[in-house]
Structure formats: C-alpha cells, structure tokens
Amino acid sequence: MSGSAHHDESAARAARLERNWAAACIAIVAVLIIVTAYAGIHQATMPQVTAETVDPTRLHLSGEFIESNLGSELRPDGTVLVRAIGQQYSFTPQCILVPADTPVRLRMTSPDVVHGFLIDRTTVNTMLVPGYISTIDARFPEPGERHMPCHEFCGNGHEGMWGRVRIIDKAEFQQLATAQRRVDCVE
C-alpha cells in the first residue's frame, strides 16, 4: 500500500514539474511571437504587403521594366526609385547608383529564372521570381561601394553574377539625375 502511495505522490510531483516547464515554454514562445509582431509593426523592415505580378515574357517590350526605364529615378518628393532586372548571369544595370542618406525603393524582377540578391552590410535581401515584382526599401547612410551578389542558384554561371551598388553624395546624385532621366554608374 505504502509503495503505491509513494508512487502516486512521485507521479503527481513529476506531473507538476512538467506542467511548470510547459508553461515556461509557452511563455517563451509567446514572447518570441510578440517580439516578431512588434518589430514588424514598428520597424521599417517589412515584407511587401501583397504579391504584384508582371508578364515575364514581355518585360522588354512594354511596361516599367523596358530597358530605357531601368536605373535610378529621382522622384518629385526627393526619394529615389530604382528599377532593375536580374537575368542569367548579370543585373541591369550591373551597377546601381544611389544617393547617400535618402529613402530608396528598389523594384526588381527577372525575365528568365529565379534569382536573388543581397546588398552586403545592409538588410536589403530579396528574391527575384519571374512573373512577380519584388519591392524593397533601403537607406544608405554613407557614400561607398557595396557588393550585390545573386544569392540563389540560377545556373552554371551563378558564381559570376555579382552586381554593385555605388552610393554617392546626395548633391552629386541630384545633379546627375536632373541631367538624365534614369541614372546608373555608367557616366
């Protein structure tokens, strides 16, 4: 009898310990979710809200991704809009020109296979999927030059697909952008 009572008591103790630990685990997970939600709502980095499509077979013929429209555009509100495409195995423009300390929006897509890119030492990191437009916001505090490698396997030349981002002084960019409709690193 006493053995069985002891058994019951230890089982109850084990169950209590387990419940406490499970409650702690749930609290940990809840905190993680709250942090994620809070960061998403209050910080700048957010995924684009909805999917935006574009006919990948007609990119070069019409619409915003025709060749003459690629590059950086100075908007009336002082922000910069960059349109670019990634294709096997380069970006167009291959070197993106942006001003320092200015809100920049990148709109990019792919006409052939899946690519991706990141700009090193920033949080700019996205995929390029044919048929869909990737939009991502950035702000580069200082002038300088950054790598922009393709980071998704896109075929046998993938390792050579490294673009660049050149960040120049705000005033200098303004000058270039008023002289030309779309600018990139090529003078």
Please, is 110 exposed, middle or buried when counting C-beta atoms within 10 Å of its C-beta (0-12, 13-18, 19+)?
Answer: buried
**Other C-beta atoms within 10 Å of 100: how many?**
17
Helix (H) or strand (E) holding 115, with range, is strand 115-118
Which residue in 52, 64, 67, 101 binds another protein (CB under 8 A)?
Answer: 52
- Closest to another protein by CB, 56 or 176: 56
Backbone angles phi, psi at 87, to 5 degrees: -140, 165
- Closest to another protein by CB, 53 or 187: 53
Interaction mask 108-127, another protein, x per CB under 8 A: -x-xxxx-x-x-xx-xxxxx
Q: How far is the CB of 55 from another protein (least distance, A)?
A: 6
Gap between the Cα atoms of 96 and 176, Å rounded? 13
Tell whether omega for the bond before 56 is within 30 degrees of 0, i.e. cis.
Answer: no
Q: How far is the CB of 78 from another protein (least distance, A)?
A: 25
Distance of CA 16 to the CA centre of its chain: 46
Which residue in 6, 14, 78, 181 binds another protein (CB under 8 A)?
Answer: 14
Gap between the Cα atoms of 24 and 31, Å rounded? 11
> Would you state the structure tokens that stand for residue 54, as one six-digit string?
């574009």
Q: How far is the CB of 100 from another protein (least distance, A)?
A: 18
Which residue in 105, 139, 151, 166 binds another protein (CB under 8 A)?
Answer: 151
Instruction: Match 């809200």 to its residue by tokens.
Output: 49
Which residue in 16, 153, 169, 181 binds another protein (CB under 8 A)?
Answer: 153
Q: Which residues bind another protein (CB under 8 A)?
A: 7, 10-11, 14, 17-18, 21-22, 25-26, 28-29, 32-33, 35-37, 39-40, 43, 45-57, 88, 109, 111-114, 116, 118, 120-121, 123-135, 147, 149-160
